[in-house]
Structure 1
Amino acid sequence: MANGNRLIIPALGGLYGALAPLADLIVRVTVGFLLIPHGSQKLFGLFGGGGLEGTAQFLASTGFTPGLFWAVLIGCTEFFGGLCLVLGLLTRPAAAAVTVFMAVAVFHHWPVWFWPQGGLEMPLLWGLMALSILIRGGGRFSLDAAIGREF
């Protein structure tokens, strides 16, 4: 490798070097694509979601009032924020919104750790991924770069 590190599997050095420029793109697009269905559940009732009404009722029952406000805000953050991350458009503002949303989710799920028991591990993971994207920006392969912003 060009940085002088000794690889554990030297035969893969060429592959690592070839794929390294795509690493940020892979993470950004994957995070975006995985957020979109969650927003679709909340906004449109797709994928077994409750739509705005069901999500608003659920959120109000957990202390997030007014429920409709939070349902729209969270649904839009996931759906449109995810779409922005996929496209690399307004990448840093979208990642910032997801980071803040997930920080709230972490505190809401505190102190339980494991996700199957309603814990914080998944919001923490999502939040740290969004924070990483916020720090790195859209990257070379983004609409932000194509228009000369946030690169």
Structure 2
Amino acid sequence: MMPIVQNIGPISAFKSYLSIHTGTLKWSPLQQVAAFTQGHIMNNTFLHRLLATDNGSGALALRIPVGIIFAAHGAQKLFGWFGGYGLEGTGQFFGSLGLNPGFLMALLAGAAEFFGGLALVLGVAVRPAAAALGFAMLVAIFAVHIGNGFFVDKGGYEYALTLFAASLSLLFSGGGRFSVDRALTGER
């Protein structure tokens, strides 16, 4: 059991940690940093909760296609790929909706979708990525689609709601068994 140590500097805490857990301070600096990181950062309650995931493999079936969809939509906004308008065109569109400054909003939405989508595909920081993507979909629903009704063929919010639900599911479950998050937390 590790003793409670209060009001000491990080160096003293580090040496105390090493002496308790290794029985020696004769480790190389790299080994000392690795031991400290494994013991203190990955066991940090906040970080562990952030990356924690369930043991199922069902999240993989959701992460991959939803991540690809988000990354593709983000690439449309950021780079103009796949028939998109890029930052300039998307920024003008966002500005016309009252999402000002349009360029900044397009950059934020595009970055959330592109990098959040990549994070889902890779299984890295799935919960924070899903939270950002879910928020982006709520903005899309209420700022763009809500006035057009439900169905997507009329410009409605059906598709954005589906992506919001998928993001919410991943926010609750985490990346699942086959994710980098699971490997980082050391869960079995």
Normalised by the shorter chain, which TM-score bucket?
0.7 to 0.9
Residues 149 and 79 of structure 1: CA distance in aligned 2, closer, same or farther (over 3 Å): farther
Q: Paired residue for 2:62?
A: 27
- Sequence identity, in percent? 50
1:110 counterpart SS class: helix
Structure 1 unaligned residues grouped into runs of 5+? 1-20
Residue pair 2:77, 2:87 contacting (<8 A) in 1 also: yes
Return the match for 1:51 from 66, 80, 86. 86
2:57 counterpart SS class: helix
Is 1:144 the equivalent of 2:181? Answer: yes
Q: Which runs of 4+ in 1 moved over 3 A?
A: none
Q: Which has the larger radius of gyration?
A: 2
1:107 counterpart SS class: helix
One-letter amino acid of the structure 2 residue matched with residue 132 of structure 1: S
Q: Paired residue for 2:109?
A: 74
Residue 149 of structure 1 and its aligned partner are, at CA, apart by 7.1
Q: TM-score, normalised by structure 1?
A: 0.82
Residue 116 of structure 1 and its aligned partner are, at CA, apart by 1.5
Structure 2 unaligned residues grouped into runs of 5+? 1-55
1:53 counterpart SS class: helix
Residue pair 2:57, 2:176 contacting (<8 A) in 1 also: no
Is 1:113 the equivalent of 2:150? Answer: yes
1:65 counterpart SS class: coil
Residue pair 1:138, 1:150 contacting (<8 A) in 2 also: no
Taking the aligned partners of 1:63 and 1:98, their CA distance within structure 2 comes to: 20
User: Relative contact order: is structure 1 or structure 2 higher (C-alpha 8 Å, sep ≥ 6)?
Assistant: 2
Deviations 1:119-149 (A, max 9, x none): 0111111001100000000111001111117
Taking the aligned partners of 2:135 and 2:59, their CA distance within structure 1 comes to: 20
Residue 23 of structure 1 and its aligned partner are, at CA, apart by 2.0
